[in-house]
Amino acid sequence: MAPRFPLQTEGAHSAEFILSEANGNRSRDSAYFADPTTLKVGTPCKQTVAATTDTPATYTVAAAGVDCQALTIYGGASVSGEGLRVSVITRDAEVNGRLINWGALSSAEQIAGAAALLAKGIVVRI
């Protein structure tokens, strides 16, 4: 009898949903998520506070398709009292829609989310 090995399931890799993006870092911005938060790679998010010269823009996870303004490049969990800082795709990019972590958004909300991202210059390919 052949040996049996346990089934291994690999999670999402950082930035694996990105198909193409603008040269340099033009497609990316820094983002701050308040504590407590846990993010997965490719999570749609909404900007709530604009960036300043001293701090990155503040974001939250998108609750509806029309709220989708950016996609997280990295996942992670916030540190108590410090929040979480990650990079997000905010413009001039093509992404694989099957690798976006839509969470609890319905199919109709996902379509609205893809349209909202397109308005920001992020093309969702299926």
Are 125 and 96 in contact by the 8 Å Cβ rule? The answer is yes
- CATH for 18-125 is 2.40.300.10
- Integer Cα distance of 51 and 108 in angstroms: 31
Pairing status of strand 76-77 against strand 38-39: antiparallel
pLDDT higher than 90, residue 97: yes
Q: What is the pLDDT of residues 42-72, one digit of tens each?
A: 999 999 999 999 999 999 999 999 999 999 9
Q: In what order do the strands lie in the sheet with 122-125?
A: 18-21, 93-96, 122-125
Q: In this structure, what are the phi and psi dihedrals at residue 58, rounded to the nearest 5 degrees? A: -95, 135
Burial string for 16-28 (b: 16+ CB within 10 Å, else e) reads: ebbeebeeeeebb
pLDDT computed for residue 42 by the predictor: 97
pLDDT at 1: 64
Which sequence spans correspond to the domains of the chain?
A: 18-125
**pLDDT digits over 3-40, tens only?**
788 888 887 899 999 999 999 889 999 999 999 999 99
* pLDDT in the model for residue 10: 82
